[in-house]
Every structure is written in structure tokens, then in C-alpha cells.
Amino acid sequence: MAKKAALVQLFGRIGLNVYNSSDGRALGSLTFFNGLKKT
């Protein structure tokens, strides 16, 4: 489970960066919250 959490965190960070560069922070924040809820 610890490994999965680390992967989710990594993907969440990447998603935040991508969304930040693409459009806005709102989407990135939502993605991050979604990842936390999935864990």
C-alpha cells in the first residue's frame, strides 16, 4: 500500500504541474484531491 501511495503522490504531482502549465490551478487542485480520496 505504501508503494501505491507513493505512486499516487507522484502522479498527482505530475498532474498538478501539467495542469498548471496548461490552463489553471483549479483543475490541478481537483486532481490532487481526487488522488488523495482514492488512496
pTM greater than 0.75 (yes/no):
no
Report the first-to-last Cα separation within the chain, whole angstroms. 9
Q: What total of structural domains would you count in the chain?
A: 1
What pLDDT was estimated at residue 34?
Answer: 56
Residue 5 domain flag = no
> Whose CA is closest to 16, among 25, 26, 28, 5?
28
Query: What was the pLDDT predicted at 3?
Result: 78
Angle of helix 2-22 versus helix 25-38 axis, rounded to 10:
170
Range of the domain at 31: 12-38
| pLDDT tens-digit map of 1-39 | 677 777 666 666 655 555 555 555 555 555 555 555 655
* Within a domain: 32: yes
